[in-house]
Chain A
Amino acid sequence: MNTQTALSIEDLSFSYSGKKALDQISFTINAGECTILLGPNGAGKSTLFSLITRLYDTHAGRIALCGFDIQKDTRHALAKLGVVFQQTTLDMDLSVEQNLRYHTALHGLSKKVAQQRIQQELERLNMYDRRFEKIRQLNGGHRRRVEIARALLHKPALLLLDEPTVGLDVPSRLAIVEYVHQLAKEENLAVLWASHLIDEIYPDDHLIVLHKGQIKAKGTVDAVLESTQTTAIKDAFYNLTQGEQA
């Protein structure tokens, strides 16, 4: 196993009451790579995320984080994972710092280390001065920033983001897209980002196009454009998903 491989998925299948949601999908994500998972509604993105976070059990296929099998070595695997879920998972009545402290406690960080990491992550996002404010007082963009900061506190190798920019205004959305791409590069972090929005893709990103539970294309943006003989991701996506909206 390459130590740089943050996420490895092999022949993963999953079905709901006999209906296939994922059909033998395989891919890897390396450290420092930002991979955008594109797919229309019902493509299987949420199922894939539920399997990587082990909300559901993997019955067919294998998922490994940094070489740790999610089934056999769950706790080591989960320790390598940072997640930002689609719905907000912050406690609205607690302050920014209290929410982050809860997370550091769940990951067993000492008070001193927790304090350092909280300061570091919040400062990077220009949120440190607002650490005593209740989440309820923050706007959607700032809440998302806090969730990204929280996901990074235990220094994961892989950051999962499940459509984190849904419902945000354009400036907040662009700021988050920019920040996550920067993280991947500077922190050598592997990122798997589920998205509907084609303008969130950077030219040097990797793409996975998921449709009806199957991977229709994967590789760098250029490779996907070449394989579909298109010049724009929008057209490539349209061809691969037979006209469905992203």
Chain B
Amino acid sequence: MNLMHYWRAMWGIIGRELWRFITQRERFISALVRPLVWLFVFAAGFRAALGLAITPPYETYILYEVYITPGLIGMIQLFNGMQSSLSMVYDREMGSMRILMVCPLPRWFLLLSKLLAGTGVSIIQVYVFLIIAWFYDIQAPLQGYIWILPALVLSGLMLGALGLLLSTFIKQLENFAGVMNFVIFPLFFMSTALYPLWKMKESSVLLSKLAEYNPFSQTVEMIRFALYGQFDQHAFLYTLGAFSLFMAAAILGYNPSKGMMVKKGGPN
């Protein structure tokens, strides 16, 4: 049980996930098509309808497509996190999760490695999306493309941990439709991904409050600022806090003496 064991296991898990992603071309394409449709169709259509004032990190008037881009990056990672949760349920149903769980390493480490693997996959998707957006004239300062990387790692981990936590509640694969309706849509639409807080406040104070406390909003803001080379401390701490909370709950959920396993069976 030395450090090399941890290192090899972690790269084994990450390598497997990346390889699966590379070989599943349909998954890659559909992961990209979704935000691109939003960018090319939805944002283009809304451009005229929404007027945006100058708010940080932007220093000038921007097109709606520019505003929506960090939200779409968040969307890529949100779907990816939920997809991981789907694959965890699938893995558990098919049994390959059991192979992971019987290996002689602590469960928190195995789950964290799974999360890192999913985050790595989502970051590849984000950069491909940003390259396409670049040619569509959505261009951030060059250093923004480097600054965004640590932000993407944290947001990927946070959204992945949320997916992991959900996978402890979902008993069967079929329930994933419920995740779409009750998790993905509310998180995405009640956030600053599509409209700024001040704009929401104009129509509903309650909605703007919900959006403010939505961890997805905070992670989108963290990404938005990072893309322009700035550090949003509040958004960073909020995302970090949400990650810690979701991760701790997910580890508890996968603990054989607590969480979902206990629901299945208990002491004599």
Whether B48 sits at the interface, judged by CB under 8 Å, is no
A3 at the interface (CB under 8 A from B): no
- Which B164-192 residues have C-beta < 8 A from chain A? none
- The answer to whether A16 touches B20 (Cβ under 8 A) is no
Q: Is the C-beta of A93 less than 8 angstroms from some C-beta in chain B?
A: yes
Enumerate chain A residues within 8 angstroms of B12, measured Cβ to Cβ. 101-102, 104-106
Question: Residue-by-residue, is A151-189 near B (CB-CB < 8 Å gives 1, otherwise 0)?
Answer: 000000000000000000000000000000000000000
* Smallest Cβ-Cβ distance to B12: which chain A residue: A105
CA separation between A104 and B96, bound complex, in Å?
Answer: 15
| B141 part of interface (Cβ distance < 8 Å) | no
How far is it, in angstroms, between the C-alpha of A162 and the C-alpha of B98 when the chains are bound? Answer: 13
Q: Is A124 an interface residue (CB 8 A)?
A: no
Q: Of residues 22 to 40 in B, which have CB atoms within 8 Å of A's CB atoms? A: 23-24
Whole-angstrom distance between the Cβ of A80 and the nearest chain B Cβ:
9
User: Quick one: CB contact mask for B1-34 with A, threshold 8 Å, 1 for yes?
Assistant: 1101110110111011001100110000000000
- Chain B binding site: helix, strand, loop or mixed by DSSP? helix
A106 — which chain B residues lie within 8 A by C-beta?
A: 9, 12-13, 99-100, 103, 105
Residues of B within 8 A of A93 (CB): 20, 23-24
Interface centre among B2, B101, B105 (most CB of A within 10 A): B105
Contacts of A54 in B (CB 8 A): 101-102, 256
Out of B96, B257, B265, which one reaches A14, CB within 8 Å? B265
Query: Does A57 sit at the interface, judged by CB under 8 A?
Result: yes
Instruction: Indicate if B104 sits at the interface (CB-CB under 8 A).
Output: yes
Residue in chain B with minimal CB distance to A76: B104
Are A15's CB and B267's CB within 8 A? yes
Alpha-carbon separation in the docked complex, A104 to B12 (Å): 8
Number of interface residues of B (CB under 8 A): 37
In the complex, whether B140 has a CB less than 8 A from a CB of chain A is: no
Categorize the interface residue count of chain A: 35 or more
Q: Could you tell me if A55 and B95 are in contact, using CB atoms closer than 8 angstroms?
A: no
Does A98 touch B at the CB level, under 8 Å? Answer: yes
Q: How far is the CA of A89 from the CA of B98 in the complex (A)?
A: 8
Measured between beta carbons, the chain A residues less than 8 angstroms from B95 are 85-89
Contacting A at CB under 8 A, from B148-172, are none
The answer to whether the Cβ of A244 comes within 8 Å of any Cβ in the partner chain is no
The answer to whether B265 touches A75, judged by C-beta atoms less than 8 angstroms apart, is: no
Instruction: Give chain B residues whose Cβ lies under 8 Å from the Cβ of A104.
Output: 12
Residue of A55, A75, A86 with most partner-chain B CB within 10 A: A55
- Contact yes or no, B265 A47, CB < 8 A: yes
**A98, B102: Cβ atoms closer than 8 Å:** no
B261 touches A55 (CB 8 A): yes
Taking CB atoms and an 8 Å cut-off, the chain A residues in 37-96 that contact chain B are: 47, 53-57, 59-60, 74-79, 81, 83, 85-91, 93-94
A102 CA to B91 CA, complexed, in Å: 15
Q: How far is the CA of A153 from the CA of B261 in the complex (A)?
A: 28
Q: Are A107 and B20 in contact (CB under 8 A)?
A: no
CB distance from B118 to the nearest CB of A (A): 16
Residue of B nearest to A17 (CB): B266
A59–B104 CB distance below 8 A: no
Question: Is A94's CB under 8 angstroms from B20's CB?
Answer: yes
A7 interface residue per 8 A CB criterion: no
Q: How far is the CB of B56 from chain A (nearest CB, A)?
A: 45
- A59-B266, A60-B267, A88-B94 given. 19 additional CB < 8 A pairs? A14-B265, A14-B268, A21-B265, A47-B265, A55-B261, A56-B261, A56-B264, A76-B1, A78-B103, A89-B95, A89-B96, A91-B20, A93-B24, A94-B19, A102-B12, A102-B16, A104-B12, A106-B100, A108-B6
3 cross-chain pairs, A with B, having the tightest CB-CB distances, nearest first: A105-B12, A108-B5, A59-B267
18 contacts between A and B (CB under 8 A): A16-B265, A55-B102, A56-B261, A56-B264, A75-B105, A77-B104, A78-B102, A83-B99, A85-B99, A89-B94, A93-B20, A94-B16, A94-B20, A98-B16, A102-B16, A105-B9, A105-B13, A106-B100
